[in-house]
Amino acid sequence: MLALLCGSVLTGLLFTGVSRLEQDRIMLAFTQRAHVREFALKEGITNAIDGLRAVNQLFVSQPRVSRDEFRRFTKPLLERYPYVLGFSFMRFIGPSERAAMEASLGQFRPGARVTEFREGHVVPAGNRERYRVIEFIEPLTGNEAALGLDSLFSSADETVRTHAYDTGRPGASPLVTLAQHRTAVGMLISMPVYRFNTPLPDVQARRAALVGETAVTLLPGEMVSKILMSAGLHHVHQQEKRIQGIGLHVYTDANRSPASLVYYAPPPERGLTTIGKPLAWLYPATPAPLDVPLEVAGRTWHVVASMSDDVTVADHMASLSTLALGLVTTLLGTAYVHALATRNRAIGWRVQERTAQLDEANRALRLRERAIESSRNAILMVAAQDDYPIVYANPAFERSTGYTVAEVMGRNPRLLYRDDVDQPGAETIRSALREQRDGHAVLRYYRKDGTLFWSETYVSPVRDEEGKVTHFVAVQHDITAMKAYETELHHQATHDALTGLPNRALLQDRLQQNIAQAATRGHSLWVVSIDLDRFKFTNSRIGHKAGDRLLQQIAERLQAAVRPVDTLARLGGDEFALILLPEEGVRRPAADQLQRVLASLDKPVLLDDKEQFIVASAGVAVYPDDGTEPTVLMERADIAMFRAKELGGDNYKFYTRAMREQLGERVQIESALRRALERHEFVLYYQPQVDIGTGRIVGMEALIRWQHPEMGMVAPARFIPLAEETGMILQMGAWVLRSACQQLRTWQCEGRRNLRVAVNVSARQMAEQGFVGSVADTLGEAGIEPCCLELELTESLVMNDVEHAVTVMHELKRLGVKLAIDDFGTGYSSLAHLKRFAIDVLKIDQAFVRDLTVDPDDAAIVTTIIALAANLNLEVISEGVETLDQLSFLREHGCHQMQGYYFSRPVPAVAFGAVLAENEAQLAAGGTVPLGVALYR
């Protein structure tokens, strides 16, 4: 190492000395070449100024210079100095002389006149007190735009020119845009011309004798290029022009601003091999640019010369040779010394290597021991002997099992199984031990205190140098938490997240198992599809969050009503399913089992201090009568459930084959119903409401009918429940209300001012937020009084959500609309609720009227309703009056209005108009219409 260091220091000293001499030589050559270029530029510019002086002397030497004399005088100067753009003479004139000047210019060049350079364009000069007009300019070719130009208008160098006028010396302008070269910048050097043969003793005399000026126009960049080229200092490359040897910047002001840069040529590519960066840093940095000032007619230019940053091999051959020779010599000497030292160290290295190997082996053994001791997994080592006694256990084993090492040493690991020795994983481990191979199994272990934990156990044989198995090592990974998580995931995958009930997947699995058991034991089972009636209306009214809580309470009630052996599942939304097994000792489930489940919903559900009345429809499919496959049974239970809904809901039906055909009809009706409104297939029928005392028609109930082009007249019972279920009742109800009001308006315009119309309102309409507003809009469009409209609300509708119903009723009453409770007595309203309802009319359902003359109970109910209405100052209308005996009973007990087939069936609007006309004619003839005989049946 010492030999290498000494050789390197000596080589470095020699290299430094030689490279310094090379750098001095390069710097001297650079300075000389820079001054040569500065001198060439200075001489060229001086020649141009001398040409200007010669032109100026032409005007000084004679009183008048003609245009031809000017051209002949400047021609040799232009040939001598090709970088001059032009020589010119400018004369000062006043406004009175302008016409003569323009005439003179026009004789030389037709159309020429006095102009000015304004905003980049040559335009006729404006009127002003003084002009400085370019009268002569040579060469004219290329300078046509400057002939006649008033340079006084756009001059940016009047200060420089004033100094020239006062001193008589040339003055250089800053860079300006030339009228004849608007795409490039140029400059002018001008000298004053004084009146011929006039004494000029001072500044005032010079100013008084001033008649014009001569000027030389230059393009500085082009001028520099041509001067250097004529001096042999300009080398043209393939892509750009560069000065041979050095780079050059020429600035036309002292600040060297980018705007004043008129010429730039970077250092040339010399085509020589350069020294790479790893060695270039050994040489001094490139000399700083050389800035040489140059005086040009009173303005200071700057010529800045620079060198390339490249370090070439040719410029530093001596220093590179010195460096290479020194390094080679140093390396050879160092190699010789190193060979001698290496031989002596080899023996010592071998001794140290063997010692280090022994130390490393000991460290590895200690590291393995610490790793096993620090492992979070329990590690056991057993001897490969009979009964596989434990010979080692790490601390993690003590923590996970509760046994100390002393307690398990020498014992068989099966002590962790306790009595659970028949688990499949245990046999897997025993086989691996017998066959002396790797083994893996998931096992149930038991701690010292008896608690269960799951372990993923790996067993591997340990062999000696001869390959004989001497021990087995077992690693136990506690996966109890993972097993619990798997159990939770399985529960989430098979149970409904909202209610905790089994979901469809688990229901299918249990149904498959129950079918297999039923087939083996020879009994039947029921699959029940349960769907809550009108739950969508309730959910949209109370909100989805409240709807979820309502579903949770319903699920709790249903779950409480089934036995542990039965399965209740939630399929989604308001759909539930139930697997009913027979009671002990019987072969078929009983109807009371299902009735008990449905009866659990009889009581109202209290939600946010409000009672919600919920009922359900159910369909039953029986195994094996209706099918043996789970999907078939579920499908047929759904069909039966839909049939129960079609019959009004709140009941259950068993599947029959006829239901499948009815389901097909339901699908057909639903499809046609969606297009019926836009095809104008709905019509309104009207049934008269008659005053029993006078026989006068006081109103009518609007009833929708569906005239299908293929199915004919579809009964309302076939499509109204379906419209309620699908939501189409909203558009249908709005159409009925609008059409009925418009028809009433027509009849009122015919003179029947006291006539009113009754329109049924569905639960879905009642639940809509803007229902009251839509009623008001309809009344406004039809132009009828609100008191002429009677809205009929069913008793079950208002009891479904009493608070909401009361709110809507009061809003309708404020609007002025009359309200009626339809089918009164068929629901479950109480007198306390009835007292809160803002109603005007009670309508007795035809179910009580039909048998009132033969059934004392129906007669008592009707009598009670009439008395109740009278006590509450309510009108009462009896529906479904079909016989004279019924009419007589109602008249006798104080019922004042009726409607039914006894008087008239529902008829279309045209026919109802005829009924009205005939009723009015009879009243006009006899004063009253006797109701002892049916009139319009």
- Structure confidence by residue, pLDDT tens digits, 511-561: 999 999 988 988 999 999 999 887 877 777 787 888 888 888 999 999 999
Would you state the pLDDT for residue 192? 94
Would you state the pLDDT for residue 930? 55
Q: Show which of 351, 374, 397 is a domain's final residue.
A: 374
Q: Is the pLDDT of residue 592 over 60?
A: yes
- Cα gap 364→376, rounded to integer Å: 20
| Residue 416 located in a structural domain | yes
Would you state the pLDDT for residue 237? 40
Does 370 lie in the same domain as 239?
A: yes
Tokens of 441: 């199994």
Q: Is the pLDDT of residue 114 over 60?
A: yes
Q: Is the pLDDT of residue 59 over 60?
A: yes
Q: Is the pLDDT of residue 23 over 60?
A: yes
| Residue 60 located in a structural domain | no
- DSSP helix/strand/coil, 337: helix
Would you state the pLDDT for residue 360? 81
Mean pLDDT of 344-351: 79
| Residue 63 located in a structural domain | no
Contact status, residue 801 vs residue 538, Cβ threshold 8 Å? yes
User: Tens of pLDDT along 620-675?
Assistant: 999 998 888 998 889 889 888 888 887 778 889 898 887 766 666 676 777 788 88
Does 399 lie in the same domain as 262?
A: no
Tokens of 394: 């790490």
| Neighbouring-strand partners of residue 463 | 469
Please count the other Cβ atoms lying within 10 Å of the Cβ belonging to residue 411.
14
Contact status, residue 716 vs residue 705, Cβ threshold 8 Å? yes
Enclosing H/E stretch for 283: none
Would you state the pLDDT for residue 936? 46
Q: Which residue, among 739, 719, 828, 835, has the nearest Cα to 782 in the 3D structure?
A: 739
Q: Which residue, among 714, 727, 382, has the nearest Cα to 535 in the 3D structure?
A: 727
Q: What is the dihedral of CA 275, 281, 284, 285, to 10 degrees?
A: 90
Would you state the pLDDT for residue 678? 83
Does 520 lie in the same domain as 400?
A: no
- Beta strands at 841-844 and 818-824: parallel, antiparallel or unpaired: parallel
| Residue 289 located in a structural domain | yes
Does 544 lie in the same domain as 404?
A: no
| Residue 216 Cα to chain centre, angstroms | 69
Q: Show which of 461, 484, 507 is a domain's final residue.
A: 484
Query: For a pLDDT cut of 90, what percent of the chain falls above it?
Result: 21
Question: Structurally, how many domains does the chain consist of?
Answer: 5
Query: For a pLDDT cut of 70, what percent of the chain falls above it?
Result: 91
For residue 733, give the DSSP letter.
H
| Residue 156 located in a structural domain | yes
Q: Which residue, among 463, 465, 472, 420, has the nearest Cα to 443 in the 3D structure?
A: 420
- DSSP helix/strand/coil, 681: coil
- CATH number at 141 reads 3.30.450.350
- Cα gap 551→497, rounded to integer Å: 12
- CATH number at 394 reads 3.30.450.20
Does 214 lie in the same domain as 262?
A: no
Does 758 lie in the same domain as 907?
A: yes
For residue 274, give the DSSP letter.
B
> At which residue do the structure tokens 């039809």 appear?
782
Strands (E), 775-860: 789-794, 818-824, 841-844
Does 359 lie in the same domain as 381?
A: no
| Residue 76 located in a structural domain | no
User: Tens of pLDDT along 138-167?
Assistant: 998 888 888 888 888 766 677 888 888 888
pLDDT band at 819 (very low <50, low <70, confident <90, very high): very high
| All residues at 6 or more sequence positions from 588 whose CB lies less than 8 Å from its CB, including other chains | 523, 524, 582, 622
pLDDT band at 935 (very low <50, low <70, confident <90, very high): very low
User: Tens of pLDDT along 479-522?
Assistant: 888 877 777 777 878 898 888 999 998 899 999 999 999 889 88
Q: Show which of 450, 484, 518 is a domain's final residue.
A: 484
pLDDT band at 315 (very low <50, low <70, confident <90, very high): low
Does 731 lie in the same domain as 621?
A: no
Contact status, residue 820 vs residue 865, Cβ threshold 8 Å? no
Contact status, residue 412 vs residue 388, Cβ threshold 8 Å? yes
- CATH number at 870 reads 3.20.20.450
Would you state the pLDDT for residue 243? 43
| Residue 328 located in a structural domain | yes
Does 502 lie in the same domain as 455?
A: no
Does 612 lie in the same domain as 574?
A: yes
Q: What is the dihedral of CA 418, 421, 427, 429, to 10 degrees?
A: 0
Q: Residue 471's domain spans which residues?
A: 375-484
Would you state the pLDDT for residue 225? 83
- CATH number at 537 reads 3.30.70.270
Contact status, residue 698 vs residue 897, Cβ threshold 8 Å? yes
User: Tens of pLDDT along 688-740?
Assistant: 999 998 889 999 999 999 988 878 888 887 788 778 777 788 889 999 999 99
User: Tens of pLDDT along 262-292?
Assistant: 888 787 665 566 666 666 666 676 778 888 8
- DSSP helix/strand/coil, 56: helix
Mean pLDDT of 562-576: 90
Cis upstream peptide for 289 (omega within 30°): no
- Cα gap 401→380, rounded to integer Å: 12
| Residue 131 located in a structural domain | yes
Contact status, residue 562 vs residue 568, Cβ threshold 8 Å? yes
Mean pLDDT of 816-832: 72
Does 430 lie in the same domain as 502?
A: no
Does 703 lie in the same domain as 630?
A: no
Mean pLDDT of 786-806: 79
